[in-house]
Amino acid sequence: MPIQWYPGHMAKAKRLMAEQLRGVDVIVELADARLPLSSRSPVLDELARGKPRLLVLTRVDLADPYRTEAWVTWFQRNGVTAIQVNARTGQGVQGFKRALDDLVRSKVHRARARGIERVITRGMICGIPNVGKSSFVNQLAGRAVAKTGNRPGITRALQWIRVGGTELLDTPGVLAPKLATEEQGLKLAASGAVKEEIFEAYEVGAYVLAYMSQRYPERLEERYGLSIEQPVLWTNVQEVWPLVQPWVERIGRMRGALASGGLVDEERVAKMVLRDLQEGKLGPVTLEWPEDVHAS
């Protein structure tokens, strides 16, 4: 079943963003470094209308560092400035501030050429749910001004913060009303951008196991003792589930995830795999690589 999540507060947030964009000089877009394309919001392409945009890759502590570097290069080649930021520790925040100053400098120079000394530039911070936006905002502000938590949909209101000479508007996380592909929905669910109640855990868990068997099989061996002799290519859950079910069985028995009668609780195992991925217990994992774009 395709994963879709677009509750009423997102539609309201989109309307408010559209209203505020008129007075904004730059857009700060946050994307998850583990899925730098799937976690970008197409809503911004609709609303931005050619405004300068700065891309901030968050969750870098959970992403494959080699792939993150490759993505930064890929974005630069495609005319996008991408900054790596660890919103938990603040690593990369100073680099972001310098990039932001560079982006708004032309407006400042034009204003001062007209004799205006005090120049306020404005930006908007946007991103999908649970991309680390609130933690990033708190790092920029130097204090806890935004509520944080490892679940989507926490930020519901708009608020302004000042970073140097720029005022930045923090906005709620917004997904597209309709996701482009089924696989995009699976990636977003795996990353934690979608509420658990919206998707079937066994389907997303099967997707993660299949993906890991292709690109990070050693992590499955380290964490679960699985020996991946034949990687599984994702097609759909009906075809893939029978292939990954023996792995689910082994993980369940090793971890004691059993239901009545000694049967493995497959739903519980799937949620366990997703939690391990989201908490970094499977190691740094990137769910899409630049090579995927070239191959498509």
* pLDDT of 244: 97
* pLDDT of 296: 46
Chain position carrying tokens 């209203």: 19
Rounded Cα gap, residues 115 and 133, in angstroms = 36
* pLDDT of 294: 66
Residues 184-203: tens digit of each pLDDT: 889 999 999 888 888 899 99
Joined together, the tokens standing for residue 2 give 């395709």
Rounded Cα gap, residues 293 and 28, in angstroms = 23
* pLDDT of 153: 44
Q: Which helix (H) or strand (E) holds 28?
A: strand 26-32
Rounded Cα gap, residues 237 and 224, in angstroms = 21
- Residue 156, helix vs strand vs coil: coil
* pLDDT of 145: 61
DSSP 92-155: THHHHHHHHHHHHHHHHHHHHHTT-----EEEEEEE-TTSSHHHHHHHHHTS--S---SSS---
Could you tell me where the DSSP H helices lie in the chain? 8-20, 42-47, 65-77, 93-113, 133-141, 182-191, 201-215, 217-224, 237-255, 266-278, 290-295
Work out the angle between the directed axes of helices 237-255 and 217-224 (0-180°, nearest 10).
Answer: 30
Rounded Cα gap, residues 178 and 217, in angstroms = 32
- Residue 258, helix vs strand vs coil: strand
pTM as predicted:
0.86
Distances (CA, A) of 182 to 67, 76, 203: 23, 28, 11
Rounded Cα gap, residues 130 and 133, in angstroms = 7
Q: Is 16 exposed, middle or buried (0-12, 13-18, 19+ CB in 10 A)?
A: middle
* pLDDT of 149: 45
Is 198 within 8 Å of 10 (Cβ atoms)?
no
Is 124 within 8 Å of 23 (Cβ atoms)?
no
- Residue 168, helix vs strand vs coil: strand
Chain position carrying tokens 């930006």: 123
Q: Which helix (H) or strand (E) holds 57?
A: strand 53-58
pLDDT in tens, the chain (296 residues): 555 544 445 566 667 777 777 778 888 999 999 999 999 877 777 777 778 889 999 999 999 999 999 999 999 999 999 999 998 888 999 998 888 888 877 766 676 667 666 667 888 888 888 888 888 888 887 765 655 444 444 445 677 888 777 888 888 777 665 666 889 889 999 999 888 888 899 999 999 999 999 999 999 999 999 999 999 999 999 999 999 999 999 999 999 999 888 899 999 999 999 999 999 999 999 999 999 886 54
All structural domains of the chain, each given as residue ranges with its CATH number in brackets, are: 8-170 (3.40.50.300), 200-287 (1.10.1580.10)
CA of residue 291 relative to chain centroid, distance: 19
Rounded Cα gap, residues 198 and 189, in angstroms = 9
